[in-house]
Amino acid sequence: MRGLYLAEAAMLTQQAKLNLLSNNLANLRSAGYKRDELAQVSFGEQLLYCQGLTGMAKGPGVAARPIGSMPHSVAVGEIRTGFAPGAIEETGRDLDFALDRGYFTVQSGDELLYTRNGRFFLNNAGYLVAADGQPVLGERGMIRLGNADFTVDRDGLIYRDGRPVDRLRITFFSPDAQLEKIGDSYFRLLNRQAIIENEPPRVYWRCLENSNVELVEEMVAMLQVRRSFEAAQKMLSTYDQLLNRAANELGSLS
Protein backbone atom coordinates (compact mmCIF):
# COMPACT_ATOMS: atom_id res chain seq x y z
CA MET A 1 0.00 0.00 0.00
CA ARG A 2 2.93 2.31 0.61
CA GLY A 3 3.66 2.43 -3.11
CA LEU A 4 0.15 3.68 -3.84
CA TYR A 5 0.59 6.59 -1.44
CA LEU A 6 4.01 7.44 -2.87
CA ALA A 7 2.63 7.53 -6.40
CA GLU A 8 -0.40 9.56 -5.36
CA ALA A 9 1.74 12.18 -3.54
CA ALA A 10 4.03 12.46 -6.56
CA MET A 11 1.08 12.99 -8.91
CA LEU A 12 -0.48 15.64 -6.65
CA THR A 13 2.83 17.51 -6.40
CA GLN A 14 3.32 17.47 -10.17
CA GLN A 15 -0.25 18.70 -10.62
CA ALA A 16 0.52 21.66 -8.35
CA LYS A 17 3.65 22.39 -10.40
CA LEU A 18 1.62 22.25 -13.61
CA ASN A 19 -0.88 24.75 -12.22
CA LEU A 20 1.92 27.21 -11.43
CA LEU A 21 3.53 26.79 -14.84
CA SER A 22 0.18 27.29 -16.56
CA ASN A 23 -0.38 30.50 -14.60
CA ASN A 24 3.10 31.74 -15.52
CA LEU A 25 2.46 31.08 -19.21
CA ALA A 26 -0.96 32.74 -19.02
CA ASN A 27 0.76 35.90 -17.72
CA LEU A 28 3.57 35.88 -20.26
CA ARG A 29 2.42 39.25 -21.63
CA SER A 30 1.15 40.71 -18.34
CA ALA A 31 3.08 43.88 -17.52
CA GLY A 32 5.14 43.62 -14.34
CA TYR A 33 4.18 40.01 -13.63
CA LYS A 34 6.62 37.99 -11.49
CA ARG A 35 6.82 34.25 -12.09
CA ASP A 36 6.17 31.67 -9.38
CA GLU A 37 7.98 28.41 -8.81
CA LEU A 38 7.24 25.49 -6.51
CA ALA A 39 9.70 24.05 -4.02
CA GLN A 40 9.24 20.29 -3.55
CA VAL A 41 10.21 18.67 -0.24
CA SER A 42 10.39 15.16 1.16
CA PHE A 43 7.63 14.36 3.61
CA GLY A 44 8.08 12.01 6.52
CA GLU A 45 11.57 10.44 6.25
CA GLN A 46 11.50 6.85 7.53
CA LEU A 47 14.42 4.72 8.74
CA LEU A 48 14.69 1.32 7.02
CA TYR A 49 15.84 -1.82 8.82
CA CYS A 50 17.10 -5.13 7.48
CA GLN A 51 15.71 -8.23 9.16
CA GLY A 52 16.16 -11.99 8.74
CA LEU A 53 19.73 -12.07 7.40
CA THR A 54 21.75 -15.26 7.75
CA GLY A 55 23.99 -15.10 10.77
CA MET A 56 21.97 -12.46 12.55
CA ALA A 57 20.87 -13.13 16.07
CA LYS A 58 17.21 -13.90 16.32
CA GLY A 59 14.69 -13.74 19.06
CA PRO A 60 12.62 -11.19 20.95
CA GLY A 61 14.35 -7.94 21.86
CA VAL A 62 17.01 -8.22 19.15
CA ALA A 63 17.16 -5.03 17.01
CA ALA A 64 17.41 -5.25 13.24
CA ARG A 65 20.28 -3.54 11.41
CA PRO A 66 19.43 -0.05 10.05
CA ILE A 67 20.33 0.29 6.36
CA GLY A 68 19.29 3.85 5.52
CA SER A 69 16.24 6.04 5.12
CA MET A 70 13.66 6.83 2.45
CA PRO A 71 11.01 9.54 2.11
CA HIS A 72 7.50 8.40 2.84
CA SER A 73 6.24 10.75 0.13
CA VAL A 74 6.83 14.13 -1.50
CA ALA A 75 4.86 17.30 -0.91
CA VAL A 76 4.65 20.95 -1.87
CA GLY A 77 7.09 22.85 0.33
CA GLU A 78 6.39 26.45 -0.62
CA ILE A 79 5.64 28.69 -3.56
CA ARG A 80 8.41 31.16 -4.29
CA THR A 81 8.11 34.30 -6.38
CA GLY A 82 11.02 35.34 -8.58
CA PHE A 83 11.53 39.11 -8.35
CA ALA A 84 13.99 39.45 -11.22
CA PRO A 85 13.10 42.49 -13.38
CA GLY A 86 11.57 42.04 -16.79
CA ALA A 87 12.64 43.81 -19.96
CA ILE A 88 11.47 47.41 -20.33
CA GLU A 89 9.63 48.11 -23.57
CA GLU A 90 8.68 51.50 -24.98
CA THR A 91 4.95 51.84 -25.75
CA GLY A 92 4.49 55.54 -26.51
CA ARG A 93 1.36 55.64 -24.30
CA ASP A 94 1.26 58.60 -21.91
CA LEU A 95 -0.13 56.60 -18.98
CA ASP A 96 2.46 53.80 -19.13
CA PHE A 97 5.30 53.78 -16.60
CA ALA A 98 8.15 51.39 -15.78
CA LEU A 99 10.74 51.16 -13.01
CA ASP A 100 14.21 49.70 -12.82
CA ARG A 101 13.83 49.24 -9.04
CA GLY A 102 11.10 49.69 -6.48
CA TYR A 103 7.32 49.45 -6.69
CA PHE A 104 4.43 51.74 -7.52
CA THR A 105 2.23 52.40 -4.49
CA VAL A 106 -1.55 51.92 -4.75
CA GLN A 107 -4.23 52.75 -2.20
CA SER A 108 -6.65 49.87 -1.61
CA GLY A 109 -9.13 50.76 1.10
CA ASP A 110 -7.19 51.26 4.32
CA GLU A 111 -4.02 49.49 3.18
CA LEU A 112 -1.22 50.09 0.72
CA LEU A 113 -0.45 47.65 -2.07
CA TYR A 114 2.58 47.55 -4.34
CA THR A 115 2.93 46.66 -8.00
CA ARG A 116 5.40 46.65 -10.86
CA ASN A 117 2.59 46.95 -13.40
CA GLY A 118 2.75 50.56 -14.54
CA ARG A 119 -0.15 50.45 -17.02
CA PHE A 120 -2.37 53.17 -15.53
CA PHE A 121 -5.54 55.01 -16.52
CA LEU A 122 -7.52 58.14 -15.69
CA ASN A 123 -10.89 57.79 -13.95
CA ASN A 124 -13.87 60.07 -14.53
CA ALA A 125 -12.56 62.58 -12.00
CA GLY A 126 -9.17 62.78 -13.73
CA TYR A 127 -7.21 60.83 -11.09
CA LEU A 128 -4.46 58.38 -11.98
CA VAL A 129 -5.65 54.83 -11.21
CA ALA A 130 -4.58 51.23 -11.77
CA ALA A 131 -6.45 48.88 -14.10
CA ASP A 132 -8.90 47.89 -11.33
CA GLY A 133 -9.66 51.52 -10.42
CA GLN A 134 -7.46 51.72 -7.31
CA PRO A 135 -5.79 55.17 -6.99
CA VAL A 136 -2.09 55.40 -7.72
CA LEU A 137 -0.36 57.46 -5.05
CA GLY A 138 2.10 60.27 -5.29
CA GLU A 139 4.07 61.79 -2.45
CA ARG A 140 1.13 64.15 -1.77
CA GLY A 141 -1.60 61.52 -2.09
CA MET A 142 -3.85 60.81 -5.06
CA ILE A 143 -2.58 62.23 -8.34
CA ARG A 144 -5.05 64.35 -10.32
CA LEU A 145 -4.02 64.99 -13.91
CA GLY A 146 -7.35 66.02 -15.45
CA ASN A 147 -7.32 66.44 -19.20
CA ALA A 148 -4.25 68.67 -19.40
CA ASP A 149 -1.04 67.57 -21.10
CA PHE A 150 1.66 66.34 -18.75
CA THR A 151 5.21 65.06 -18.80
CA VAL A 152 7.21 62.88 -16.41
CA ASP A 153 10.94 62.99 -15.77
CA ARG A 154 13.27 60.16 -14.72
CA ASP A 155 12.83 61.05 -11.05
CA GLY A 156 9.09 60.42 -11.27
CA LEU A 157 8.17 64.10 -11.05
CA ILE A 158 4.96 64.88 -12.98
CA TYR A 159 4.60 68.24 -14.74
CA ARG A 160 1.29 69.62 -15.98
CA ASP A 161 1.40 72.68 -18.23
CA GLY A 162 5.07 73.01 -17.33
CA ARG A 163 4.45 73.08 -13.56
CA PRO A 164 5.28 70.29 -11.10
CA VAL A 165 2.16 68.56 -9.80
CA ASP A 166 3.41 65.63 -7.75
CA ARG A 167 6.01 62.88 -7.71
CA LEU A 168 5.09 59.22 -8.11
CA ARG A 169 5.37 57.45 -4.78
CA ILE A 170 7.93 54.72 -5.43
CA THR A 171 8.53 52.34 -2.52
CA PHE A 172 11.78 50.45 -2.01
CA PHE A 173 12.31 47.38 0.16
CA SER A 174 15.29 45.78 1.86
CA PRO A 175 16.33 42.22 0.87
CA ASP A 176 14.51 40.76 3.89
CA ALA A 177 11.13 42.17 2.78
CA GLN A 178 8.27 39.67 2.99
CA LEU A 179 6.06 40.34 -0.01
CA GLU A 180 2.85 38.37 -0.40
CA LYS A 181 1.40 38.03 -3.89
CA ILE A 182 -2.37 38.66 -3.77
CA GLY A 183 -3.32 38.67 -7.46
CA ASP A 184 -3.67 41.30 -10.20
CA SER A 185 0.11 41.92 -10.00
CA TYR A 186 -0.28 43.30 -6.47
CA PHE A 187 1.92 42.58 -3.46
CA ARG A 188 1.23 43.11 0.22
CA LEU A 189 4.15 43.88 2.54
CA LEU A 190 4.08 41.76 5.69
CA ASN A 191 6.96 43.46 7.55
CA ARG A 192 6.67 47.23 7.41
CA GLN A 193 10.19 47.71 8.79
CA ALA A 194 11.57 46.50 5.44
CA ILE A 195 10.73 49.81 3.70
CA ILE A 196 13.81 51.82 2.69
CA GLU A 197 13.45 55.59 2.83
CA ASN A 198 14.99 58.22 0.56
CA GLU A 199 15.97 55.95 -2.30
CA PRO A 200 16.19 57.81 -5.64
CA PRO A 201 13.70 56.38 -8.17
CA ARG A 202 14.32 55.89 -11.86
CA VAL A 203 11.09 56.12 -13.84
CA TYR A 204 10.68 55.30 -17.53
CA TRP A 205 7.76 57.24 -18.99
CA ARG A 206 5.76 55.80 -21.91
CA CYS A 207 7.29 52.41 -21.17
CA LEU A 208 6.18 49.15 -19.57
CA GLU A 209 8.06 46.37 -17.83
CA ASN A 210 7.37 42.97 -19.38
CA SER A 211 6.87 39.89 -17.23
CA ASN A 212 9.97 37.97 -16.18
CA VAL A 213 8.55 34.71 -17.54
CA GLU A 214 10.82 32.98 -20.07
CA LEU A 215 8.74 30.97 -22.54
CA VAL A 216 11.41 28.35 -23.29
CA GLU A 217 12.17 27.70 -19.61
CA GLU A 218 8.49 27.28 -18.77
CA MET A 219 7.93 24.88 -21.66
CA VAL A 220 10.94 22.77 -20.67
CA ALA A 221 9.70 22.67 -17.08
CA MET A 222 6.25 21.65 -18.30
CA LEU A 223 7.73 18.72 -20.24
CA GLN A 224 9.61 17.60 -17.13
CA VAL A 225 6.40 17.76 -15.08
CA ARG A 226 4.59 15.71 -17.71
CA ARG A 227 7.24 12.98 -17.66
CA SER A 228 7.29 12.85 -13.86
CA PHE A 229 3.50 12.68 -13.75
CA GLU A 230 3.39 9.86 -16.29
CA ALA A 231 6.07 7.91 -14.37
CA ALA A 232 4.08 8.23 -11.13
CA GLN A 233 0.91 7.26 -12.97
CA LYS A 234 2.59 4.15 -14.37
CA MET A 235 3.85 3.22 -10.90
CA LEU A 236 0.35 3.64 -9.49
CA SER A 237 -1.06 1.39 -12.21
CA THR A 238 1.61 -1.26 -11.55
CA TYR A 239 0.89 -1.34 -7.81
CA ASP A 240 -2.82 -1.58 -8.54
CA GLN A 241 -2.24 -4.60 -10.77
CA LEU A 242 -0.06 -6.26 -8.13
CA LEU A 243 -2.69 -5.76 -5.46
CA ASN A 244 -5.33 -7.11 -7.80
CA ARG A 245 -3.28 -10.27 -8.39
CA ALA A 246 -2.61 -10.66 -4.69
CA ALA A 247 -6.30 -10.42 -3.89
CA ASN A 248 -7.52 -12.72 -6.64
CA GLU A 249 -4.75 -15.24 -7.30
CA LEU A 250 -2.88 -15.93 -4.08
CA GLY A 251 -5.98 -17.23 -2.36
CA SER A 252 -6.62 -19.74 -5.14
CA LEU A 253 -3.17 -21.34 -4.76
CA SER A 254 -3.86 -22.64 -1.25
In this predicted structure, what is the pLDDT of residue 76? 75
CA distance 29 to 244: 49
Distance of CA 226 to the CA centre of its chain: 20
Render pLDDT for 86-129 as a digit per residue (tens, 0 to 9).
999 999 999 999 999 999 999 999 999 999 999 999 999 999 99
As a whole number, mean pLDDT of residues 25-29 equals: 94
Per DSSP, what are the bridge partners of residue 68? 48
Render pLDDT for 153-173 as a digit per residue (tens, 0 to 9).
999 999 988 899 999 999 999
Render pLDDT for 176-192 as a digit per residue (tens, 0 to 9).
999 999 988 999 999 98
Q: How far apart are the first and last CA of the chain?
A: 23
Q: Which amino acid is at 120?
A: F
Q: Which amino acid is at 192?
A: R
Q: Number of C-alpha atoms within 13 angstroms, CB side, residue 18? A: 14
Name, of 54-63, 101-110, 226-235, the range with top average pLDDT.
101-110
In this predicted structure, what is the pLDDT of residue 8? 74
Q: Which is higher by pLDDT, 199 or 218?
A: 218
For 165, other C-beta atoms within 10 Å of its C-beta total: 18
Q: Angle, to 10 degrees, between the axis of helix 215-248 and the axis of helix 2-26? A: 160
**In the 3-class helix/strand/coil scheme, how is the chain assigned residue by residue?**
CHHHHHHHHHHHHHHHHHHHHHHHHHCCCCCCCCCEEEEEEEEEEEEEEECCCCCCCCCCCCCCEEEEEEEEEEEEEEEEECCCCCCEEECCCCCEEEECCCEEEEEECCEEEEECCCECEECCCCEEECCCCCEEEECCEECECCCCCEEECCCCEEEECCEEEEEECEEEECCCCCEEEEECCEEEECCHHHEECCCCCCEEECEEECCCCCHHHHHHHHHHHHHHHHHHHHHHHHHHHHHHHHHHCHHHHC
CA distance 5 to 18: 20
* 32 Cβ contact list (under 8 Å, min separation 6): 86, 115, 116, 117, 118, 185, 208, 209, 211
In this predicted structure, what is the pLDDT of residue 54? 45
